[in-house]
Amino acid sequence: MQSLIAAWILPDQLLEPSNHPVLQESLRESGGDQKAVRVLLIESRRHFTALPYHKKRLTLYISAMRHYAGELRSAGWQVDYLREETFADGLQRHCQANRWQRCVAMEALEHPTAQLQKQMAEKAKEFEFNLIVNSQFYWQQTEYVRAVSKNVIMENFYRAMRRQFQLLMDKDGEPEGGQWNFDSENRKPLPKKLQLPKELQFEPDEVTKEVMSDVENDYSGHAGNTKGFNLPVTRKEALTAFDDFLQHRMVDFGPYEDAMSHSKGRLWHSVMSPVMNLGLIDALTMCRRAEAEYRAGRAPIQSVEGFIRQIIGWREYIHWQYGRQMPDLRNANGWNHTRATPRFWWDGQTDMNCLKQIVGRLIDSGYNHHIERLMVLCNFAMLAGIDPEAVANWFLTMYVDSHDWVVLPNVIGMGLNADGGKTATKPYIASGSYINKMSDFCSHCKYQVKKRSGEDACPFNYLYWYFLVENEKKMRSNPRMGPNVLGLKHVSAEERVAITQQAREFLDSLNYYTDPAYEPDDSAI
Ligand code: SF4
């Protein structure tokens, strides 16, 4: 009789069953006998409490896993869905009860879980552990990226990906439309009259309702709540959400991708990252379908190129940086920032309207779009000198699409420039005038965005100028940051003193939070 093989699939490896590397390898090992394979999905409590994750994030993860068990069963697989304290507990107990001797798993995307798997592969006595290479990212198939030994900037990485996968390339091998990116056409401010397509809602089914109840009971001290959960949780729903984006939002996505609104969070963004990061929809398929919209004349090049750049450029680059920089990245602190996160990052109680709206929406939904994250939240964290690891842990906690591999390079590297400039060559800092240009937040704010210092001056302004004053020498030595400090020559010595004093008083006046520590599931067998 063929001995049983355990196929362990992690919560963010919910790939299409017919293409799943773990299932393919298990089938190969069993000589094609599907009945000799038991698929294990393990809800590890420790994994879900590594930080006080937002309850909508937990609902998304757990509901997607439970639905995936159903998808696998419909495809003929035997599935055991386990709820355990740790991954190791689940594997050990299942192994003892079912007497299997081989386990197939795919390398985790997240470093702590990948380390755990390596330990298991080396030390597990009761079974052999076949750990196969992760194939969830496309850069691994790109000769240029695989061959490169030094750091590359995102633009070069992106061009290599476009060439490799022949995305938006013309027949002469040149970029479609004669240029590689249309960034300059993708920075339109918020239109005066906001007309947005209807939001597609995915009403929770019985499985999701049960998960919502479990999350409220089992993870009661976590951030946010489950109320109003409406994200897609299955492959079918993910595809429906993407179809809806292509049909109703893609056209305006590009020009307004950096715009922000006082009243609406999503604007024309796809919000596909939560399902994409769980493996429910494939990145390259999405890019090809977006390109098809352009080829069919239904979407302009600047929107399609902007979308493809986010996925095959930024997302893949971020994952590549994570692999290059871990484990040091978690503690990188190139600007020596040490403050804790302010309490209003956790409760939204602040008079700064941009932050109040953005954090308020985040607490409610677990989502902000990329410019709100980069140019308001990371910008504030950088100017206020918040410890990069505390910022990263906050992002990991609060966002429905957060994963270690994306948050660490994106926040510590790109947003806070704390990795010595490996991910981005300059910090993304801006005064209130940038926020005012790209949004309507300031017209609803008690602070004066035009004032640099003094009573009611916008805190982003004096914090920005204070940062330049404090870091003038460092900024001047970087050719990309130099232009930021040029404006300092228009600031008198008296005003420098006033700005410095006001910024320090502001920072001293904030209530700070006791930031939670990151404690991943690392219990080995
Ligand atoms: Fe934000 Fe300053 Fe504008 Fe207020 S005035 S919304 S604090 S940028």
- List the beta strands (DSSP E) in 191-340: none
Q: And the tokens for 245?
A: 């984006």
Question: What number of CA atoms fall less than 13 Å from residue 221's CA on the CB side?
Answer: 6
CA-proximal residue: ligand 1, atom 1 (nearest)? 354
The H-or-E segment that residue 42 falls in is strand 37-44
What number of residues does the chain have?
A: 525
Q: Tens-digit pLDDT profile for the chain (525 aa)? A: 568 999 999 999 999 999 999 999 999 999 999 999 999 999 999 999 999 999 999 999 999 999 999 999 999 999 999 999 999 999 999 999 998 989 999 999 999 999 999 999 898 888 899 999 999 999 988 888 878 878 899 999 999 999 999 999 999 999 999 999 998 888 899 998 889 999 999 999 999 999 999 999 999 999 999 999 999 999 999 999 999 999 999 999 999 999 999 999 999 999 999 999 999 999 999 999 999 999 999 999 999 999 999 999 999 999 999 999 999 999 999 999 999 999 999 999 999 999 999 999 999 999 999 999 999 999 999 999 999 999 999 999 999 999 999 999 999 999 999 999 999 988 899 999 999 999 999 999 999 999 999 999 999 999 999 999 999 888 888 877 777 777 888 889 999 999 999 999 999 999 999 999 999 998 877
Q: Which atom of ligand 1 is nearest to the CA of 445?
A: 4
For residue 354 and ligand 1, the question of a CB distance below 6 A is answered with: yes
Compute the distance from residue 269 Cα to the ligand 1 centre, in Å.
Answer: 23
For residue 352 and ligand 1, the question of a CB distance below 6 A is answered with: yes
Ligand 1 pocket mutation pick from 372, 436, 451 by most atoms within 8 angstroms of CB: 436
- Secondary structure in 3-state letters for 265-295: CCCCCCCCHHHHCCCCCCHHHHHHHHHHHHH
Compute the distance from residue 351 Cα to the ligand 1 centre, in Å.
Answer: 9
Instruction: For residue 480, give the 3-state DSSP assignment.
Output: coil
CA distances from 116 to 11, 14, 88, 120, 521 (A): 15, 20, 9, 6, 8
For residue 278 and ligand 1, the question of a CB distance below 6 A is answered with: no
For residue 242 and ligand 1, the question of a CB distance below 6 A is answered with: no
339 has which bridge partners?
Answer: 386
Q: And the tokens for 469?
A: 């004053």
What's the whole-model pTM score? 0.96
CA-proximal residue: ligand 1, atom 8 (nearest)? 432
Q: And the tokens for 129?
A: 């552990």
How many C-beta atoms surround the C-beta of residue 207 within 10 A? 17
- List the beta strands (DSSP E) in 87-157: 102-106, 128-132
Question: What number of CA atoms fall less than 13 Å from residue 119's CA on the CB side?
Answer: 13
Compute the distance from residue 458 Cα to the ligand 1 centre, in Å.
Answer: 6
Q: Which of 117, 96, 99 is nearest to 108 (CA)?
A: 117
Q: And the tokens for 114?
A: 């990948």
Contact criterion met (CB below 8 Å) for 148 and 443: no
Instruction: For residue 233, give the 3-state DSSP assignment.
Output: coil
For residue 432 and ligand 1, the question of a CB distance below 6 A is answered with: yes
For residue 442 and ligand 1, the question of a CB distance below 6 A is answered with: yes
